[in-house]
């Protein structure tokens, strides 16, 4: 009887795993079957390296959107990764119990806030601040980077903290036994041992930043041009799709799906690259 139950549960688990795999395959088939023909019509070089996006004239160059996505993602990582990792270290090894619980609750709350609320915060608070103290119109690379840096913090903090806590306490005790201080034992013994988990947190942060749409639409300026400064308006790959998909048709709609193909390939390359680095370590 128990053996039959185990077989049934194994079949259920296998079925649910297959659903995930089939879903990914179906997404890939849809994207590539709809997007590749459009890229071929436009020309791969013109599509990837073209600097003009004018659907009315059948000109589809997504290079400004690629640059915009790369800029805001890198900016978000520059701001979010150091703060997130250091916060995780503090919570795992330095934070008093009285402070830990409200801090943990605040981070969980940040993770549950909808993107549109972050976007509204950026529009009301960050945009005027940047406009008054940095310059420009307030909507651009810098504002979007700061907002995305805030949005990826809960992911980086949670995953990094779990990785740090998973390190055996013998690493920390070994550092103390060798005469290192509490801080040095944490940063030079525990933290290096948790680098794979922290790397996974960075990957998830990149995925969140490069795939974010609604908040970026509200603070980035949405200009399909190459940015020439931190305060210049930009348009990312995701915002380009969302802004024009509702009224697109024909080659225009296919070009937007082609944009999704490029975004999908970027995310795939990022994950494969980090996987290779993970194996080398």
Tens of pLDDT, residues 171-192: 888 888 888 888 888 898 899 9
Residues 59-79, mean pLDDT to the nearest whole number: 92
The span from the CA of 255 to the CA of 32, in Å, is 12
Tens of pLDDT, residues 257-272: 999 999 888 888 877 8
Is residue 132 classed exposed, middle or buried when 0-12, 13-18 and 19+ CB atoms within 10 A define those classes?
exposed
pLDDT for the residue numbered 9: 83
Domains of the chain: residue spans and CATH: 66-236 (1.10.3720.10)
pLDDT for the residue numbered 281: 57
Q: 93, 166 in Cβ contact below 8 A?
A: no
pLDDT for the residue numbered 1: 57
User: Above pLDDT 70, what percent of the chain?
Assistant: 97
Residues 227-234, mean pLDDT to the nearest whole number: 87
Residues 210-235, mean pLDDT to the nearest whole number: 87
**pLDDT averaged over the chain?**
88
The span from the CA of 226 to the CA of 223, in Å, is 8
3-class DSSP state for residue 96?
Answer: coil
pTM for the predicted model, two decimal places: 0.86
For 248, phi and psi rounded to 5 degrees?
-80, 160
Cα dihedral 15, 20, 26, 32 sign: negative
pLDDT for the residue numbered 2: 61
The secondary structure element, H or E, covering residue 274 is helix 251-280
């Amino acid at each position: 009887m128990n053996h039959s139950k185990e077989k049934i549960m194994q079949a259920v688990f296998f079925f649910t795993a297959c659903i995930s795999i089939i879903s990914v395959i179906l997404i890939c088939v849809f994207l590539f079957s709809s997007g590749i023909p459009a890229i071929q019509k436009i020309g791969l070089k013109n599509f990837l390296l073209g600097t003009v996006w004018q659907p009315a004239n059948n000109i589809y160059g997504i290079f400004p959107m690629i640059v915009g996505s790369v800029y805001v993602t890198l900016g978000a990582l520059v701001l979010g990764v150091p703060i997130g990792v250091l916060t995780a270290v503090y919570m795992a090894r330095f934070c008093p119990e009285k402070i830990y619980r409200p801090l943990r609750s605040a981070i969980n709350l940040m993770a549950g806030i909808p993107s549109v609320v972050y976007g509204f915060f950026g529009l009301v608070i960050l945009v005027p601040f940047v406009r008054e103290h940095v310059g420009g119109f307030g909507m651009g690379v810098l504002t979007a980077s700061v907002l995305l840096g805030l949005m990826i913090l809960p992911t980086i903090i949670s995953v990094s903290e779990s990785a740090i806590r998973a390190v055996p306490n013998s690493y920390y005790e070994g550092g103390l036994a060798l005469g290192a201080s509490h801080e040095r034992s944490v940063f030079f013994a525990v933290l290096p041992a948790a680098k794979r988990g922290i790397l996974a947190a960075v990957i998830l942060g990149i995925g969140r930043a490069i795939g974010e749409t609604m908040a970026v639409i509200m603070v980035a300026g949405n200009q399909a041009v190459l940015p020439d400064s931190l305060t210049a308006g930009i348009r990312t790959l995701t915002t380009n799709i969302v802004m024009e998909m509702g009224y697109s048709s024909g080659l225009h709609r296919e070009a937007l799906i082609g944009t999704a193909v490029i975004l999908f390939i970027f995310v795939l390359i990022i994950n494969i690259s980090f996987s290779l680095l993970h194996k080398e370590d």
